[in-house]
Amino acid sequence: MSIILCPSCGTKNRVDDLRSTLETPRCGKCGSLLPLSIAPLTITDANFAALVQHGSTPILVDCWAAWCGPCRGIAPVIEQLARESAGRWRIGKLDVDANPAVARQFKIDSIPTLLIFKSGQLVDRLVGAHPKPAMEAALRKAAG
């Protein structure tokens, strides 16, 4: 459970941490979107279903590995997208070496691979190091 201060009206809102990963929380008083964690979510084989497959907010999953140069190259862009999301989408990172089940499930043969989900369904896949505008365009399309 977290307390998040509404940037619009200043009301303190109690937000369930797991639920906030599934839906964008809103202020109980004025209805404004509440700011979420600025860091990408850590996605694992164990929490994948809870974080990705049951949420209504689009989520970009960066499938990466520590030894991958292009993965390290786009990491600052991924973090920037998370900071700038304003509740429109979520950003997560999946280490394919540590989480082979999800990597196998989605046939991750090359990294970085960016998977975009909406309502639990895979709606887009970007393979390789893409520039920020391409990632944003794919997220905007998924957000509809």
Which residue numbers are catalytic? 68, 71
Amino acid in the structure at residue 43: I
Quickly list DSSP for 20-78.
HHHS--B-TTT-PBPP--SSPEEE-TTTHIIIIIT-SS-EEEEEE-TT-HHHHHHHHHH
Query: Partners of 122 in the beta sheet?
Result: 117
d(CA 104, CA 110): 12
> 82-92: string of b/e by CB count within 10 Å (b at 16+)?
beebebebbbb
> Does residue 95 sit in helix, strand or coil?
strand
In a 13 Å sphere around the CA of 114, the CA atoms on its Cβ side amount to: 26
